[in-house]
Structure formats: structure tokens, C-alpha cells
Chains A and B, each alone.
Chain A
Amino acid sequence: MPRLIIDDLEVDVPKGSKVIDAAERLGIMIPRFCYHEALGSVGACRMCAVKFIQGPFKGVQMSCMIDAQDGMVVSTTDEEAVQFRQRVIELLMMNHPLDCPVCDEGGQCLLQDETVSGGHAIRRYRGKKRTYRDQYLGPYIQHEMNRCIHCYRCSRYYQEFSGYRDLGPLQIGDRMFFGRFSDGKLESPFSGNLVDICPTGVYTDKTARFKVRRWDLHRAPSLCNHCPLGCNTIANAHYRGVMRVEARYNQDVNGYFICDAGRFGFSYSNGGALHEKRPWTPRIQGSDVSAKAAIAKAREDLDNVAEKYGPGAIAAVGSARNSLESQCMLGKICRTRGWRGPVFFTDPAKLRKTRSALERLDGDIAVSLREIENADFIVIAGADPLNEAGMAALAVRQASRKQAPIVTIDPRPLFLPCDFDHIPAAPGKIELYLGMLISAALAKDSTGFGKEAVDFYSALVAEKGKSEVPAGIFSLAERLGASQRPVIICGTDVTRETTPSFTADCVRLLRLAGKQAGLFYLLPGAGSFSSALLSGTDGEAFGDLIGDIENGLIKALVVVESDPFHYYPDRVRLERAMESLELVVAIDYFPSSTVSRASIFYPASTIFETGATYVNQEGRAQFARPVHHGGVPVWGGEHPPRVYSNSIPGGDHLPAWKALWEIAGSTPDTGAADISPGEFIPAEHAAFEAFGSDNYPVDGIRVLQGKAGLTGNWNSRIEESSQRPENAEPLELLMVEWMFGTTEFSAWSDSLASAIAEPYMSMNSKDACRAGVCDGDRVSLELDNGTIEIKVSVSDRAAEGVLVIPRHQSLDWRKMKDFSVRVLPGKIRKI
């Protein structure tokens, strides 16, 4: 650990730290533009000059370019250094427009701050300023090149860090330009980070343009709840609307960045012109009522159903969108009231998969996104990081930049923003190929595993002989064998039920072979970790309830932040079943199909209004603070109602869990007594015992500490091992997620609409031949409940024997009828 002195203060820093970082540890923020911890040093701006007084360097030098070393004495306040920086800022400001008052970056601009702190106030330059024509960069990013100071942060982030290739530095000298080849939407789904990373106003958030000044914003640490990663964000609100979302640094989760779905997918929570869809008022049979009336009526009607048919005729439905608070309250109510449920998943198989994943996850074996970045070999089995959990793809890229080989074993023709080897594998073959890879990697050191591990290992080796071997797998295995910190990322969407625990066994085997192996599951939603824990071993999914709704065992549903219509694959059947119910109570903030059918509707607050706890896929509990009170926004659209009242229009709703408590929790004796999450969450599951308040450590806390992953039976097996699909064999239809266009958030956030691409079906070229269709054709696909039309994308990188279709909002895929469906090639017809 080098020890050095900066401004008379001594500091020890890890080897390899730059002097600029060492100073930051002391709370001394050396001015900088080009340096950024995530991007490294380039020494482009010259703003971080300090004076080196003693040690291997002497004189004014760039603190971002020099490693901290023993015996250095550095001054940041030395007159020469100060003057140097003053000249630099003057130079950088030479061409800069003097119009901060009309710049959207104003008030949150590093250039502004450092111009002021650098002491540059009077422009001496009298020449012509360099000006540019700006480009159209799509709906999210506004371009204003005149404000550029050529720090290269944007191109380093965009190309090097995030791996996209359509924005970069052009021209030379005074003409230096950062942009695209021609006008057009940025291709990266991580483009929003340009807004955070550019130290000036070149890239600003177009969705928030000219709406509000930074100092007028309410800001609060929040979380993204669009996917299971739980990236940390800062929510910004103004005049009862969320204006924008920024990334918030969390060293173990998202680092400095977030994806565009998380950044721009907040507009569902606002009202106003574009988003009039958010339901603001409680309703009984479609008519607006007061909150009190809705709650009283729900209470009464539920009591009636319970009296008439017994409490078991009421079922509670939550989702992976629920906060931990909602889920635990649902659990508590069902237990105390004797209701059925709660169910959180729609597909029973997915519930089982997620549960079996969690059974094997523990504090030891689970890795964070940061640990993925440091892995030296990554296997991605049945997972699509980019689409299922965006930032995971960026983490994988960081590992790849450090030369880690990346292997994907997946039926989809995956894309990752880095080099990787893809082994196309139908879901039934993922375990087989994963097993091959692992067993070949460990061939030499299988001794000392213990009997069961040896059996497991031998099964892998034996399996190997039975099938064709994917090209290149042995050279990959060799590199896996040489790795120290391999990570397996395993999905729960297209995989077989046994795959998550099989993968855990593989990780365990790698650990027995002396590797620091880690496991990273991708789960189906922000709240799926906790919902799977809370579902218990005999828990049900919505799919298990539908039969009992049909045969009259269930008479009422209480649906909390959930929309079975979004997930259930048989729309016709679900509609009929819902109609047969006597009572549907819905509590939500989306204007979902369930909400529009509900007999009683109560509008819930969003994460921005009342905060929420989410447990991410590695078991990290994190808390989002409320950022504003909420209510019908005062900007855009119609004027809020002109009636006198003490409350904010549309702003009196409760978080779903509290509404549920008022409807069903508090008894007449206790009245509508207040209850806080700390009072009911710990009782719901041992993992949450320590849950006390919302005062989490900044980086969240891991709720799983046990050793589950390293114990238990080696019970997983390899399924459906060998044979190729026969000619007429039906193709397995795989429904998958896309970053844009398949989630409920994207269905209700207008701001995401422009990012949604047209859906297409991927299939292998041999299957396409058999079905007589070509790449680019539009086809009709006959499903059990009707046909859908879709474009075909043919690729050899798609596995044989599968059709891959996104659960796209513009597709009527709910004609599938079942969660898992096979289609004969003859049912695909070119149109």
C-alpha cells in the first residue's frame, strides 16, 4: 500500500491507485473532466494538474496519469498548479457558448463548477468561436456539440466500456466532433449514461428537456424495479411528476451506470397529456369514489364472500413487480385471514425453477455484478443478459475486456456487446453441453471430490459420449480449466426446471476443484427473489388457481400490483374465468386489463411516491426512498381539478401494502391502526428477520448467509440428452423477454415506446427449410387459440428445434393456450 502526502495529509491507498483517487480518499476533489473511475485515465483535459514536490515526479503533472507511490508529497493548492488549472479552464472555455441559462445541464454541470472554482471569469479570447451542426441522436439524447470540451469521456464510455460502435470522435483539431456517422437513433440500450458521464451539456436527457432546473428538483435515492438486478438510481421529481432518473453509484450492483429501460421507463408514474392512462381515482364498478368508500366496500364485499363460501374462496394474487412490503403483507393477510395464496408467479414451472434456484444460492456462492466483471471465465447458460437484465451484459463485457472468455449456451441467437462463443442449444440440451464443458475442464483433477461429487462428475463424463459435440467446446473447456474465478450465469426463463440446480452443482464441482467459482441467476422480475422465498415449498402460481376459479372454488380475487392478463398464455380462458368471479379487488398503479375489469379498484402509489424494498437476484435487499408525494401532475395535459380540498388531487393513495392492510388486515378492534413494514416483514421469512427499518447500508445487505449452495444432494440430472430432432418433430415455442416491448413497464411507459422494435421470430435455418420459410418472410403461426403473424429471422445461431418469440406487446401471443407449447413445422405458413 503506497503511502503519500497530499496537502499535508497522509494517506494509504491500494497499489495502482492514481494520485487523483488518493486525494479523493482524503476528501480532496481535484478538478477533472476526462478522468472517470470507470473509464480510466487518458490525460486529455489537463485539468487535474497538481504540483509534485517530493518523490519520483517533480513539478506540475497530471494527477490522473500518475500512480500513487510511496514517499510522494503532492500539493493541490500550490500556486503554480492553481494557475495552470486556471489557464486550462480558460482554454477549455474559449469556444464554449456563454449561455448556461438556456442549457439543460446548467446547475449540474462540471464545466460550470470548475470554471467558477478555477477562477476564470473574464474571457480574453476575441476570435470567432467554433460551432457545429448538432445531430439527431434519437428520442432520448439531445446533442449540443458547441458545449464540448473534448474530454473523450463519451466515446470511451460508449465504445470501450459499453461496446457499441455508432458514436465516436470524428475530425481533428478545432473541428473535433463527437457523434454518429449520420443522424439517427443511438444503437446502444445504455445510451442514457452519456447524460451522466458528459461533464458538460453536450448530451442531455431529451425526455426532460427544458422542463425543470436541477435545483428545483426533489431528488432521492431510488431503485430500478424493471428487472431483477435492482440497479441504484436517483429519482428526480418536480411539480408532482417524475422528471428523470439518473444512475446512482453502487460498487457491488450497477457501478456508475444503468440501462435505458431503467432510466427512461418511469413515465407510467406520471399523469398529464402523454400519460393520462395512470388510474388516479378509486372506483367501484367503474364509477369514481372516495378512497374511504372503496376500502370500506372492498372490506364488506370480501367479508361477504368469506361468510358465504369460506375464506378459502378468496385468493390473493401478487407478482414479481411487488415490493417486499407488498409481498409480506399479502403473506400475512392470507395467513391470518385464511385466504388462498398469495401467488406471485403466473407460470407454475417458473415458480418451481426460481425456487430451486434460490434453494441453492447462498452468500458464498452468489456473486454480484462487480464480481462478474472480475471473473476470468463466464458461462452463460440459458440466459440472455442483455434482454433479461441489461446491466449484466455490461458486467460481462467488462470481464471480456480483461480477456475472460465468454461462452453462451442458449437456444436464442444471442447478442452481447463483446466477443463471445455461442453454442446453440435447445433448452433440453443446455445441461448436456454445460456438463460437457465442466467435465472436460476438470478432467485431470477429479480426485478428492468425495463420493457423490464423483458420481455427479462421472455422470457428466458418461453423458458426453451420447451426443454430438458442439464445435470448439474442448478448447473452451481447456481455458475454463485454467481459470481461477469462473462464473456461471444461469437463466430461469427458457431453461428446464432442473437446470438451475444442475448449474449450482456444476459451480459446486468447480469449487471442489479449487476454483473461486460463482453463480449468478437471472430471475424473472425485481421482486422474484423474495416472492419465491415467500411462496414456500408448497406455494402455487396463478396457473394453478385458474381451474379452481372455473369450478367455483375461488369466488374472489385480490390482485395486488399484478396483471395476470399480461402473463397468462390463454387470454380467452382467463377472460372467461375472470368473468365467473363474484369479486375482483385490484390495487395497482398500472391501468392494466385486470384493473379495468375489477369490481373495486384502489390506486396504489408507485416506488417514487412511497418508496419500496426490493431484494435483487443475488439476495441483496435495498431500499428506495420516496422522492415526492405524487398526485396528478400540474404540468402538461389537463389542469388538475379546481376543487378546494386539503389534499393533493390524486395524491392521497397509499402504497399497495397499506391499502391491503386497511382492506383486510386491521380488524374492527384495531381500527385502521397504523402498521409499519418493520412490524410485519420479519415474521414472514427467516431471511428477513433482521428487517428493521429503511436504514439499509448504502450498498444494501445480503439476506442470504447460509451454505445452501454447497450442501444438499447432488440431485440434479441431465435431461433429454441426445438425439437430434426428427424431421417432423414439433418445434418448441420459447417465449422470451426483450429489454423493450415485453414488460409491463414498457406497456405503460410512453417514454419507452420509441425504443420498442418490431417483434420477430428466430429459428434455425434447417427448421426454416423444413417449414419452407426464409429469413425476412412474414409468416402466420397457427397456435391452439388462433394464429399470429410475425416476421421470421433465420439464423444458424438459433438452436435447432425451437422457435423463439418475444412476449411482445404488439403480438397476440396469448393464443398459445399453454405455458409450454410445441408447434409442428406445418403450422408455420408464409404469407
Chain B
Amino acid sequence: MLPDELKLKLEKMISDAESPREKAIDVMFEIQELQGWMSDEAMVEAAGLLGMTPLELEELATFYDYIYRSPVGKYVIKVCDSTVCWLEGHQSIIDYISARAGVPMGGTSPDGLFTLLPVCCIGYCDRAPAMVINKRVYGKLTPEKIDRILDKLANSAEFHESE
């Protein structure tokens, strides 16, 4: 069940839109912001608010990388999975993060802090290899830089909000 406050907000958002459907992604982002991911229940409820069927919303949700249909860690590390990063050694970056944070690709670390996923080109090719963590992009990755970023994230829950 969505909290009433959020529900009111979403209803307002939807009724302000020209057609409810156009708010589908925003609605899912709002819910995700609060709950971290889109559970089946949240999907059904959101679809109801949007006048869509759960299937129709699922078509969108599963199309986009940034909507999570299973629980993710506090920080979602997305390593760029496109040509320039491949050339610049993205596999070793993945291996390093995996080992360091204890997460296999597609998995979440036991402490629930990190989830590791691939992402298609994020347009940071000039600074490959690159990754995105939550809403922040990091380029020219090296093991040392990764250590610094992950340490900082682990030590400070508010890290990315304050950046």
C-alpha cells in the first residue's frame, strides 16, 4: 500500500497531466524514491492510478534501466556497457568493483549498500571507462578512484545527496 501522502501527490500529478499515461514514468520514479524499487503491489497500485493495466505499466517499467522491479541496494552502481568503455577496460572495472564490494554483476552486496548493473552508453565516452551511481556520473575510473568513491559512499549515507 502506498502511503496516503504519496498517493495524494501522485493523484494530483496525474490529474494535472493532459493524459494520465504521460505521467507513468514520473509516478514510478516517485514511488521508487520512497520505496527503493517497484514491487508488484506498487505496480498494480500505480497502474490503477494511471488508468493503465499492470501489464501496460510493466511494459514501460521493464523497458527502462532506471526502474527496478526487484529490490536494489542503497547505491546502484551502473557500469557503462558500451564500445568506448569496452576499449578502455570496462571488464576490469567490473571485476574490481565486484571483488571490492562483494557483488556479482546483477547482485546486491550482503550489507545492502551496493547493487552492480551494466548500463548502455551514458555519453561519457570522452572519459571512459565510466559509471553512474544513483544520479551521479563518474569517469576516468581507476581502482584507486573506485576505492575512494566507494569508501566515501560507505562512510556517508548522505554522500550523494550532499554532492
Contact surface of A with B, Cβ cutoff 8 Å: 165-172, 175, 177, 180-182
Contacts and interface: CB of A to CB of B under 8 A. Distances in A.
A170 B59 contact: yes
Contact of A169 (B40, B52, B59): B59
A177 B63 CA distance: 11
A172 B55 contact: no
Contacts of A171: 62-63
A167 B53 CA distance: 10
Contacts of A175: 62
B73 interface: no
A167 B58 CA distance: 10
Of A171, A172, A181, chain B has the most CB atoms within 10 Å of the CB of A181
Nearest to A171: B62
Interface in B31-87: 40, 43-44, 52-56, 58-59, 62-63
Contacts of B43: 181
B62 A165 contact: no
17 contacts: A165-B53, A165-B56, A166-B53, A166-B55, A167-B55, A168-B59, A169-B59, A170-B58, A170-B59, A172-B62, A172-B63, A175-B62, A180-B55, A181-B44, A181-B55, A181-B58, A182-B54
A171 B60 CA distance: 8
Nearest to A179: B55
A167 B52 CA distance: 13
Given A170-B58, A170-B62, A177-B62, 13 more contacts: A165-B52, A165-B56, A168-B55, A168-B56, A168-B59, A169-B59, A171-B62, A172-B63, A175-B62, A180-B55, A181-B43, A181-B54, A181-B55
A166 B55 CA distance: 6
DSSP class of B's interface residues: helix, strand, loop or mixed? Answer: helix
Interface string B17-39: 00000000000000000000000
B45 to A, nearest CB: 13
A177 B56 CA distance: 13
The 10 closest A-B pairs by CB, nearest first: A181-B54, A165-B53, A181-B55, A171-B62, A170-B62, A181-B58, A166-B55, A168-B59, A168-B55, A172-B63
B78 to A, nearest CB: 15
Nearest to B43: A181
A417 to B, nearest CB: 13
Nearest to A177: B62
Contacts of A182: 40, 54
Contacts of A177: 62
Contacts of B40: 182
B52 to A, nearest CB: 8
Contacts of A167: 55
Contacts of B63: 171-172
Contacts of A165: 52-53, 55-56
A737 B43 CA distance: 35
Nearest to A169: B59
A170 B55 CA distance: 8
Contacts of A180: 55
A337 to B, nearest CB: 59
A685 to B, nearest CB: 49
A186 to B, nearest CB: 11
Contacts of B62: 170-172, 175, 177
A731 to B, nearest CB: 32
A171 B55 CA distance: 11
B70 to A, nearest CB: 13
Of B52, B53, B55, chain A has the most CB atoms within 10 Å of the CB of B55
A182 B39 CA distance: 13
A165 B53 CA distance: 7
A171 B65 CA distance: 10
Nearest to B56: A165
Contacts of B55: 165-168, 170, 180-181
Of B40, B44, B52, B59, chain A has the most CB atoms within 10 Å of the CB of B59
B159 to A, nearest CB: 31
Contacts of A168: 55-56, 59
Nearest to B64: A172
B18 to A, nearest CB: 17
Nearest to A180: B55
A814 B54 CA distance: 40
A452 to B, nearest CB: 48
A16 B70 CA distance: 46
A154 to B, nearest CB: 13
A203 to B, nearest CB: 16
Contacts of B54: 181-182
A166 B40 CA distance: 15
Nearest to B53: A165
A180 B58 CA distance: 9
Contacts of A172: 62-63
A167 B56 CA distance: 8
A164 to B, nearest CB: 9
B105 to A, nearest CB: 15
Contacts of B52: 165
A169 B56 CA distance: 9
A181 B53 CA distance: 9
A87 to B, nearest CB: 22
Nearest to A187: B53
A698 B55 CA distance: 40
A168 B61 CA distance: 13
A355 B52 CA distance: 44
B37 to A, nearest CB: 16
Contacts of A166: 53, 55
A456 B43 CA distance: 55
A181 B56 CA distance: 8
B46 to A, nearest CB: 12
A177 to B, nearest CB: 8
A167 B62 CA distance: 14
B39 to A, nearest CB: 12
Of B43, B52, B54, B58, chain A has the most CB atoms within 10 Å of the CB of B58
Contacts of B56: 165, 168
Nearest to A159: B56
Nearest to A164: B53
A177 B61 CA distance: 13
A168 B52 CA distance: 13
B57 to A, nearest CB: 8
Nearest to A165: B53
Nearest to A155: B59
A172 B58 CA distance: 12
Contacts of B44: 181
A283 B135 CA distance: 81
A165 B62 CA distance: 16
B68 to A, nearest CB: 13
A379 B122 CA distance: 53
Nearest to B54: A181
B28 to A, nearest CB: 14
A195 to B, nearest CB: 20
Contacts of B58: 170, 181
Nearest to A158: B55
A168 B63 CA distance: 12
Of B43, B53, B56, chain A has the most CB atoms within 10 Å of the CB of B53
A180 B56 CA distance: 9
A321 B81 CA distance: 64
A172 B59 CA distance: 9
A585 to B, nearest CB: 53
A165 B52 CA distance: 9
A97 B148 CA distance: 47
A168 B60 CA distance: 11
B110 to A, nearest CB: 26
A600 B61 CA distance: 64
A182 B55 CA distance: 8
A27 to B, nearest CB: 39
Contacts of A169: 59
